[in-house]
């Protein structure tokens, strides 16, 4: 697995950032957990559930430190980096637990939060000193930004060749047609104008956005900031598009030269700072995967998700580091790939969902494990929106899920209003995970989006208890060993 290319300046910046982290954590050890996933995979819900469960001592029987009675508690603390927005935990929790619960807004930028965890250590020397403390720094960032990191190793001609090859695939024909038509009408060697660049970039962005809709659910289509531009919207660094190789000499004033400069500016202004200042300073990582959305869209979307996951895994700075090297060079030593929305299936298909995710990760995960990284795949629901039951259909008893579909969701000829609870047979996933990549491979799901649970239990202190599926196992894998 190739390492991302970095400059000497990048490595100096990374080392200085790690030294600054170490300086703030001299007395209290710190673990930096990155949380990412492609759009609508549930990053905001995952982090909100993580923070709430640690703050309230939620029902987490598979979270070792809590099950063993060693986890004392957690509190929110001020984050040391004043330049990064704070994750809006309180607002997101209010949206989920209010009188009329709604799902919180999706991640559109980087954010952070610090939790201070107190626990009783199992280590002899630590136990003699009393309770132990660990800072858990949670870094939330869009998965689309992660897919941009391979661009650091590609020049404009290489990226253009890859992007155009993807646009011309049969699966992309409908979405890419307006962009390819605009491209065919342009001579890359003509004199550059902002109008031409903006028109081409707009058509390219529309194609990227259409490819992400549920009907296609394609994943591996950088640049990610074209869909989440933030403050850079309309800037030259986000106003370019791929061009075919020119047939003649490229003049400095040509459209090809202009878009090449803007592509390089995108790498320098957007991609490289994210890698240097945030991504390269992580210790652990969770990647949330909406595999059901890809399965529902068909084998082309599943194959594209496999490509995206391979590229994502190739981006991480992987391996073990000793405490002294960690002062200047962090490595990610544990990665969790979590197939979210497990509550949209009956539990009899959860193992099959994990098997499909493992199949998509197979080759790249082997290389990562060889580098010393622990990798795990789980089917989870950070907040469970459905419960299970049975239903009768055609004289047969079928396992079903029970919940309230989101307003506007459709199944067959029925359009749901967001207030009506239904029982739904969601379908079964195939026993053979390879069949998910084959045309008509047996994946036939009744896939709906559900409202958050409307009535939550309360613990003895009055805090909401968030129902989940295997969230405790995910938490134990990510930080349980650091609370020994």
Nearest to 226, CA basis, from 294, 139, 129, 151: 151
Whether 195 and 226 have beta carbons less than 8 Å apart is answered as no
Phi-psi region of 386 (alpha: psi -120 to 50; beta: other; left: phi over 0): beta
Lowest mean pLDDT among 19-28, 197-206, 227-236, 446-455: 19-28
Reduced to 3 states (helix: H, G, I; strand: E, B; else coil), residue 23 is helix
Nearest to 279, CA basis, from 10, 60, 9, 73: 10
CB atoms within 10 A of CB 254: 20
Tell me the CA distances in angstroms from 309 to 5, 176, 177, 342, one per residue in order.
19, 23, 26, 19
- The radius of gyration of the chain's CA atoms, rounded to the nearest angstrom, is 24
37-69 confidence digits (pLDDT tens): 877 899 999 999 999 999 999 999 999 999 999
The yes-or-no verdict on residue 401 having pLDDT over 90 is: yes
185-213 confidence digits (pLDDT tens): 999 999 999 999 999 999 999 999 998 88
| pLDDT band per the 50, 70, 90 thresholds, residue 372 | confident
**Integer Cα distance of 376 and 373 in angstroms:** 10
User: pTM to 2 decimals?
Assistant: 0.88
Strands 284-289 and 132-140: unpaired
Reduced to 3 states (helix: H, G, I; strand: E, B; else coil), residue 443 is coil
**Integer Cα distance of 14 and 236 in angstroms:** 27
- Exposed e or buried b per residue across 410-445, where buried means at least 16 C-beta atoms within 10 angstroms of its C-beta: eeeeeebeeeeebbbebbbbbeebebbbeeebebeb
| pLDDT band per the 50, 70, 90 thresholds, residue 312 | confident
DSSP structural state of residue 268: I
What domains are there in the chain, each with its CATH number? 8-141+278-384+468-483 (3.40.50.300), 152-269 (no CATH), 387-453 (no CATH)
408-451 confidence digits (pLDDT tens): 999 988 999 999 999 999 988 988 999 888 887 657 788 899 99
Two tokens at 212?
A: 């992400």
**Integer Cα distance of 433 and 352 in angstroms:** 7
| pLDDT band per the 50, 70, 90 thresholds, residue 324 | very low
**Integer Cα distance of 469 and 340 in angstroms:** 9
Strands 387-393 and 334-339: unpaired
């Amino acid at each position: 697995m190739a390492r991302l290319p970095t400059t000497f300046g990048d490595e100096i910046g990374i080392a200085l950032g790690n030294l600054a982290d170490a300086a703030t954590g001299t007395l209290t050890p710190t673990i930096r957990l990155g949380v990412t996933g492609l759009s609508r995979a549930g990053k905001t819900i995952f982090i909100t559930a993580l923070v709430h469960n640690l703050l309230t001592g939620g029902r987490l029987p598979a979270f070792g430190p809590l099950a063993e009675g060693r986890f004392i508690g957690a509190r929110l603390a001020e984050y040391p980096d004043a330049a990064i927005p704070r994750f809006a935990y309180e607002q997101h929790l209010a949206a989920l637990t209010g009188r009329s619960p709604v799902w919180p807004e999706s991640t559109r930028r980087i954010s952070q939060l610090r939790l201070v965890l107190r626990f009783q250590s199992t280590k002899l020397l630590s136990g003699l000193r009393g309770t132990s403390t660990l800072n858990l720094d949670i870094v939330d960032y869009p998965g689309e930004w992660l897919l941009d990191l391979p661009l650091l190793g590609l020049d404009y001609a290489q990226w253009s060749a890859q992007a155009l090859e993807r646009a011309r695939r049969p699966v992309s024909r409908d979405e890419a047609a307006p962009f390819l038509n605009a491209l065919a009408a342009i001579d890359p060697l003509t004199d550059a104008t902002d109008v031409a660049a903006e028109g081409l970039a707009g058509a390219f962005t529309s194609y990227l956005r259409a490819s992400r809709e549920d009907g296609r659910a394609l994943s591996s289509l950088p640049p990610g900031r074209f869909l989440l531009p933030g403050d850079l919207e309309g800037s030259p660094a986000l106003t370019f598009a791929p061009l075919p190789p020119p047939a003649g000499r490229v003049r400095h004033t040509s459209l090809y030269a202009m878009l090449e400069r803007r592509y390089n500016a995108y790498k320098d202004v957007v991609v490289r700072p994210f890698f240097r200042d945030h991504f390269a300073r992580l210790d652990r990582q969770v990647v949330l995967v909406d595999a059901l959305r890809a399965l529902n869209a068909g084998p082309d979307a599943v194959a594209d998700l496999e490509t995206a996951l391979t590229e994502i895994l190739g981006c991480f700075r992987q391996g073990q580091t000793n405490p002294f090297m960690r002062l200047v060079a962090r490595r990610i030593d544990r990665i969790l790939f979590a197939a979210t929305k497990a509550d949209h299936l009956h539990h009899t298909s959860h193992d099959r969902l994990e098997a499909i995710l493992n199949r998509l990760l197979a080759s790249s995960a082997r290389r990562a494990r060889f580098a010393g990284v622990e990798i795990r795949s789980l089917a989870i629901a950070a907040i469970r929106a459905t419960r299970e039951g049975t239903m009768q259909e055609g004289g047969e008893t079928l396992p079903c899920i029970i919940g309230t579909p989101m307003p506007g969701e459709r199944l067959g000829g029925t359009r749901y209003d967001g207030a009506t609870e239904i029982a739904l047979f969601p379908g079964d996933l195939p026993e053979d995970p390879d069949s998910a990549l084959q045309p008509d491979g047996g994946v036939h799901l009744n896939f709906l989006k559900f409202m958050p649970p409307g009535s939550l239990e309360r613990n003895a202190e009055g805090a909401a208890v968030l129902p989940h599926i295997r969230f405790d196992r995910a938490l134990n894998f990510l930080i349980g060993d650091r609370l020994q």
